[in-house]
Structure 1
Amino acid sequence: MSLTYLPLFITLLRGASALPATSYSLIDTYDYTNWLSKFSVQSISDPTHGYVNYVTQAQAQSEGLLKTVGNQVYIGVDSTSHLDPNGVGRDSVRLQSNPSYNHALVIADIAHIPGSDCGAWPAFWMVGPNWPNEGEIDIVEGVNLNTYDQVTLHTSSGCVPSVGSGGMSGTSTGNADCGASGGYTGCGVVSGSATSYGTAFNANGGGVYATLWTSSGIEVWYFPENSVPGDIKSGTPNPAGWGQPIANYAGCNFDAHFQNMNIIFDITFCGDWAGSVWSSSSCASINPSCPAYVASEPQSFADQYWLVNSVKVYSVS
């Protein structure tokens, strides 16, 4: 080969790495130093009709449900009170970020996810106003005894995603159209990793969830603590080198369906998902009623808490 063409040949061999790289600039960090200045506690009725009482910030702090533990943030539930199953529900905390986003790389370093317990329904997610028209991305979510995370998109009708280039490791579930039947079911992807959620996640030492949201797609990765990419640890994330994601949504007009999204952490009980599948789960053999079980077994929820190292949000350009 002529030396004249050697630089071109090397460039072709390098392929994508020779193309201009997407850059990610840190725009927000949520951690123990600023958590309550960047999140608002939402003392609201549960939109998913759970057996839960979302308390105020003052009550959450006085009950020890929202606090810092060393350099980590603890978000938990009441695990001592016996309750009336026809009452308001178990005390818990729901947090929503004050900033909202349009396109982002969101990296959550989580030491502990609420455990895989009958009746529990915790989630780490993003949502826009005027649901479902401005979208929802469920990043970490599960119910009852699940140990496999489920990623789900909820939208208005007309978003029918395909699997993006490179594929995904998870398995599709739910509707093809993320907005079918009002968007309540959504289009989900169940992780293939047995340590991606709940008790198994915690026993494995925690880990990192990374969500990349652009005009062309939404991708979600899970990394156990012992295999978090070095570029994430160094604060110079490069999703191009992370391999296959759990979920890889493409082929939808994402800009029309996902806008102005806030970050949310919550823990609810029973309700539209955990409650609706209660009778078909092994939990029903303990108690035929989800609210009755949650009301009468406070000690079962001692591991219903988030312990968060940080959430970092990067702009995408």
Structure 2
Amino acid sequence: MLAPILLLCLSASTLVQASQSYLINHTFIGNDFFAWDWYTSDDPTHGRVDYVDRPTAKAMNLSVASETTFLMRADHLNLVHPADRGRKSVRISSPSTYTDSVLVLDLWHMPTGCATWPAWWTVSKKGPWPNGGEIDIIEGVNNNSNNLASLHTTTNCNMTQTRAQNGQTVSTQCDASFNYNQGCGVSFSQPNSYGPGFNSDGGGWYAMHRGTCGISVWFWSRDNSTVPIEVSQALPTVNPDPSLWGSPDAFFPATTCDYMSHFDPHNIVFDLTFCGDWAGSPSAYGASGCPSTCEDYVNNNPTMFNEAYWEIKSLGVYTPDGR
């Protein structure tokens, strides 16, 4: 039986959450990800990337599944001709959409290195973007070490600077038309929440709760003793209450953003692009100490993309009724 819902939507500076149990709807492991949708169009963020279909990814060993893991990576063997679309990589999205839900990702390894721009996110199926909203759960570029979680929306969705979260507010305007689509972002405080630090620690868990009172994102490293057992053990029921899970690393309360009008059913997406609007910008690429130009680096240094891969242990999707 589901626990009764306790709404605590009071203010951004308070632990604003809906205390509710969620039941497992689907667990994705290994070959399950091959049933996802494979994106092959041009990258909307203008990356130096060539997203390939499922058969090509399998043939080139860019996507591999076992009974316990799913790996998807960039081509790290071949040069990229200047006339090509870009370095071959993978972008997949879930066949189903979700609204009120909890996503729990058990991740061994995320892509890292100069020119890389990996993301785990959700986005409106209906669109067109940014209608219906976008939620970035894991995102970073180049040699970043701290994760950035963000929302991207249509107009009239804002966040307060100070709220009940462990991370640091980077921006408060979620409107995608503001400041070159910066969105409203929160930088995580743990330096092992992204990149090489995350990977050297053996990865960890990310969880995102999307509910009536807003959106919350948590991160626990592999050796973190405070990770909830329902997360670490992938139990069939979770309750993302801050009194049980601790304060989220990023919190986007509904108090200053009408969620019903800004967010509709979302697909879940994993991708890995290169350069583009963020990773290839002078402020991001040059500031990371990366050599040459971003596109030249992508074209001519295949072996430098050995660490540009996702290795997923499992993804659990929880909903209020488990359906």
TM-score interval (norm. to shorter):
0.7 to 0.9
1:205 deviation in Å?
A: 1.1
Q: Give the superposition deviation at 1:100.
A: 0.6
Which residue of 257, 260, 263 maps to 2:265?
260
Confirm whether residue 172 of structure 1 aligns to residue 169 of structure 2.
yes
Aligned residue number for residue 141 of structure 1:
139
Tell me the equivalent position of 2:240: 239
Displacement over 4 Å in runs of 4+: none
The answer for the alignment partner of 1:124 in structure 2 is: 120
Contact 2:31–2:67 (8 Å) recurs in 1: no
TM (norm. structure 2) is 0.86
Counterpart of 1:155 in structure 2 is: 153
Q: Please name the residue that 2:4 is paired with.
A: none
Give the secondary structure class of the aligned counterpart of 1:143: coil
CA distance in 2, matches of 1:163, 1:43: 38
What secondary structure is seen at the aligned counterpart in 2 of 1:162?
coil
Task: Report matched runs for 1:37-186 at 5 Å.
Answer: 37=35, 39-115=36-112, 117-128=113-124, 129-162=127-160, 167-181=164-178, 184-186=181-183
Seq. identity, %: 35
Contact 1:121 1:144 in 2 (8 A): yes
Give 1:17's aligned residue.
Answer: none
Cα deviation code 1:39-66 (max 9, x no counterpart): 1111111010000000111100000011
Shift of the 235–224 alpha-carbon distance from structure 1 to 2, 3 Å rule, reads farther
Question: Paired residue for 1:24?
Answer: 22
Match of 1:305 in 2: 309
Please tell me the root mean square deviation across aligned C-alpha atoms, in Å. 1.9
Give the number of the structure whose residues are more often helix, by fraction.
1
Assess if the C-alpha contact under 8 Å between 1:231 and 1:237 holds in 2. Answer: yes
Q: Counterpart in 2 of 1:314?
A: 318
Counterparts in 2 of 1:282 and 1:34: CA distance versus 1, 3 Å = closer
Structure 1 position 294, deviation (Å): 0.9
Equivalent residue for 2:287? 281
TM-score of the superposed pair, with normalisation by structure 1: 0.88
Q: Give SS of 2:199's match.
A: helix
1:164–1:311 CA distance, 2 compared to 1 (3 A): farther
2:195 is equivalent to residue 189 of structure 1: no
What SS does the corresponding residue of 2:182 show, helix, strand or coil?
Answer: coil
Shift of 1:278: 4.2
Secondary structure of 2:41's aligned partner: coil
CA change 1:97–1:69 in 2 (3 A) is: same
State how far apart, in whole Å, the 2-side matches of 1:267 and 1:59 are.
16
CA deviation digits over 1:124-149, x for unaligned, max 9? 10000311110000000100100110
Tell me the distance in 2 between the aligned counterparts of 1:33 and 1:46.
Answer: 25
Q: Which runs of 5+ in 2 are unaligned?
A: 1-17
Structure-2 residue corresponding to 1:15: none
